[in-house]
A and B are shown apart, each in its own frame.
Chain A
Amino acid sequence: MTPQNRTAAVLARLLAVDWSGETSFDFPRSRARLMKEYLRRAAFWARAFEATDQWPFFDVVASLAPEVRTPEGAAAELETLISTRIGWPSVAASARYALRWAAVLDAGVHVPSTLADPFEPLLLLFERGGGYTTEHGFVDLGGASVRLLSWPDHLADEPVVSLDPAELAGLDPA
Chain B
Amino acid sequence: MADGELGAVFKGLTEDADQAAGNISESVAKIGEQTADNEEANLGRTLDAEAQNATSFSDIADDGAPAAIVSPAGDTDGGFTGAGHVSSSSPDAEAAYASIRQSTEDVLSPAEQGQFRSLMSHEYVESRLMESGMPYRSADPEAWEDGTLMFNTSHFGAHEVAPLSSTGSLRLWPKLGLTPPDAPIAPDLSNIDDVVSAARKGLTL
Contact = CB atoms under 8 A, between A and B. Distances in A.
A132 B167 CA distance: 11
Given A29-B145, A140-B166, A89 B29 contact: yes
Interface residues of A, number: 33
Contacts of B112: 83, 87
Contacts of B64: 147
Interface in A131-148: 131-138, 140, 142-147
Interface in B104-147: 109-116, 118-119, 136-137, 145, 147
A89 B167 contact: no
Contacts of B25: 89
Nearest to A145: B149
Given A89-B25, A89-B28, A135-B39, A144 B149 contact: yes
A22 B109 CA distance: 21
A82 B28 CA distance: 14
B43 A135 contact: no
B148 A83 contact: no
A85 B39 CA distance: 27
Interface in B32-62: 32, 35-36, 39-40, 43
A135 B90 CA distance: 18
25 contacts: A21-B167, A28-B151, A32-B148, A82-B109, A83-B109, A87-B115, A87-B116, A88-B115, A89-B25, A130-B166, A132-B166, A133-B165, A133-B166, A135-B35, A136-B36, A136-B40, A136-B81, A138-B137, A140-B165, A142-B151, A143-B150, A144-B150, A147-B64, A147-B147, A147-B149
Question: Can you list the 4 inter-chain pairs with the closest CB atoms, starting with the nearest?
Answer: A87-B115, A83-B109, A87-B111, A89-B29
